Structure 1
């Protein structure tokens, strides 16, 4: 038997997912993570109440309630292939005792008749991600050894990569399997790129925990934060020198304000062009990219600084007392 844990916020996609994975050899555990639960979810498995503190905490609640050695995490907006249960069992049967986790093959369908939008490209990046919990199986023993997901990471952002790092550090290997799952692009507002900047606070925590090489350790691609910091600094300098020039009426301050404004405009234009070029370039997308490219750098840096201060004394998550974190256990 295999346990399947699905945290949910009650998305309509949950029903199709549950129908796809219906199988006598799978224990289905749905973690209802809605803060206000006003209706009962109908599922073929068990429903447990989530702590409403984000996906990391919800997944922890799910695997701790599981009855079997292998625990598979699925997002509630994915759609596994029709043969997913059979391929899952084959993936896990082929895993030797040194294997602590097996990832499914994730695909993100993009439109055939036009270039993808910025949000569609961001979602498509999940297909190349390492150890994404949209479809990821772990041994329960491995999860217990490292204490599960770090609940200080409250968003669906980096929490899976961080867990995978600790599982590997504890002595297990991770590999990719053959089962396949589709992750559709969720409809979102044009401001979704601003909302996702909250993840910079989580990045600040990971920097505190793992040092300057945290991206390399967790297999996370490089980001644009240094450029965002430079653009934000240029904008702040342009504002400060511009105000000073207006008050003092001195040419030197006016020249400084002009130089800083030029640097800010050049950095912002480069960022916007980078996002616009691969997209559909219609009026709505171009306007969205221009507006959000102005706002993203300062918003990203503000969240980073907020996280840096909040987690200034953070320590790495530790395994439960008495747990041999380097032990490799057979199924």
Structure 2
């Protein structure tokens, strides 16, 4: 059976058990609010009241990655868990027919085993934090399991994660495995750090009651960056019993990335300012103990070089230029350490190592201004 939930921009909810009911509700909601509502689908037939209480709800935010979502759902519907006691909720953060069709296909197959799959087309606000909020608020389970649309769950992932709550846990952190063959690129090496992260939404579980007490995810974190750390820090402040369960394993294959991907990712650093504003002590203890003085020195040397050249102070320009060259080369060598030495990758490191420090300083300043916090 398939349950369809649609949110409008004001977070009002419409539900439907089949396509006719969904269309009728959509038209009614348009008349009431004037907001656009994405058309929704079902597999036919009315939803029956569940005979067994749902214990856990799996929430999967997705946006424009139907092939990856398809792989993820294939692993979730095969969990070694009573299908009547868990449900899967997919929140489409950029509603599309392709994503909807993937969900509908798996929903039809899962219905044969009594597993309910829910599709939520989010009309906003957007971002992974908001999408997860849409998901857990619509969930029926007392435990919420979070993952991403590009993960692959081991068959016993859900069982092991839920069992960890038997000891009185409020939240559970599973293990993330990012398989990688050969010498990694800088991007792959950086991505693989997710395996050692303390708390990531690619593989975590939390009591719904605790999420309600905390208000869920902070939707100001619009990118997939630091929203999980923020929830983790609020759980710590809440006094939650956070348990690590290494047997709850989620595979997280590293996606291919285009040349210069690090230049796009550096934009996320603005949300470090928000995390620091909310949790200054925990940020310094668990994220970054000191400001990026190396970046500030690099940018300062670059600006001094350019201004000195403009003023005709060539001696100062040479000295500051040497400092900039040294710091940039040092940063580049750090990134090339234990990573691929292929010519294309080396060229990428040379170019991006010159551009990342000024971009990082810029986006840190944007974050400090946007969130009104003194942040270095």
Rounded to whole Å, the distance in 2 between the matches of 1:313 and 1:298 is 20
Q: TM-score, normalised by structure 2?
A: 0.76
Superposition pairs of residues 147-226 of structure 1, within 5 angstroms: 147-177=215-245, 178-211=247-280, 213-217=281-285, 219-222=286-289, 225-226=292-293
Task: Judge conservation of contact 2:177–2:251 (CA < 8 Å) in 1.
Answer: yes
From 156, 177, 190, the counterpart of 1:122: 190
State the partner residue of 1:263.
323
Matched, 1:228 2:295: yes
Matched, 1:15 2:70: yes
State the partner residue of 1:297.
357
Q: Which has the higher contact order (CA 8 A, sep 6+)?
A: 1
Rounded to whole Å, the distance in 1 between the matches of 2:207 and 2:130 is 18
Change (3 A) 1:190 1:224: farther
Rounded to whole Å, the distance in 1 between the matches of 2:366 and 2:212 is 31
Superposed CA RMSD in Å reads 1.8
Instruction: Report Cα offsets for 1:257-284 as digits up to 9, x if no partner.
Output: 1111011111000000111121110101
From 177, 180, 183, the counterpart of 1:110: 180
From 45, 49, 64, the counterpart of 2:137: 64
Rounded to whole Å, the distance in 2 between the matches of 1:170 and 1:137 is 16
Instruction: Report Cα offsets for 1:60-89 as digits up to 9, x if no partner.
Output: 111111112100001000001122233233
- Range that drifts further, 228-237 or 45-54: 45-54
Which SS does the other structure have where 1:132 is aligned?
coil
Rounded to whole Å, the distance in 1 between the matches of 2:322 and 2:310 is 16
Which SS does the other structure have where 2:140 is aligned?
coil
Instruction: Report Cα offsets for 1:268-323 as digits up to 9, x if no partner.
Output: 00000111121110101100100000000000011111111111169xxxxxxxxx
How many Å apart are 1:222 and its aligned residue?
Answer: 5.0
Task: Judge conservation of contact 1:206–1:214 (CA < 8 Å) in 2.
Answer: no
Rounded to whole Å, the distance in 1 between the matches of 2:235 and 2:303 is 42
Instruction: Point out 4+ residue stretches in structure 1 off by more than 4 angstroms.
Output: 221-224
Matched, 1:54 2:114: no
Rounded to whole Å, the distance in 1 between the matches of 2:159 and 2:272 is 37
How many Å apart are 1:214 and its aligned residue?
Answer: 4.3
Which SS does the other structure have where 1:255 is aligned?
helix
Task: Judge conservation of contact 1:75–1:134 (CA < 8 Å) in 2.
Answer: yes
Change (3 A) 1:208 1:84: closer
User: How many pairs align?
Assistant: 299
Task: Judge conservation of contact 1:8–1:32 (CA < 8 Å) in 2.
Answer: yes
Rounded to whole Å, the distance in 2 between the matches of 1:89 and 1:277 is 40
Q: Where does the alignment leave 5 or more consecutive residues of structure 2 unmatched?
A: 1-54, 108-116
Change (3 A) 1:196 1:254: same
Instruction: Report Cα offsets for 1:98-156 as digits up to 9, x if no partner.
Output: x2110111111111xx3111011111100000110101001111111111111111111
Q: TM-score, normalised by structure 1?
A: 0.86
State the partner residue of 1:238.
305
State the partner residue of 2:149.
76
State the partner residue of 1:329.
none
Task: Judge conservation of contact 1:200–1:304 (CA < 8 Å) in 2.
Answer: yes
How many Å apart are 1:37 and its aligned residue?
Answer: 2.4
Rounded to whole Å, the distance in 2 between the matches of 1:216 and 1:305 is 18
Matched, 1:37 2:90: no
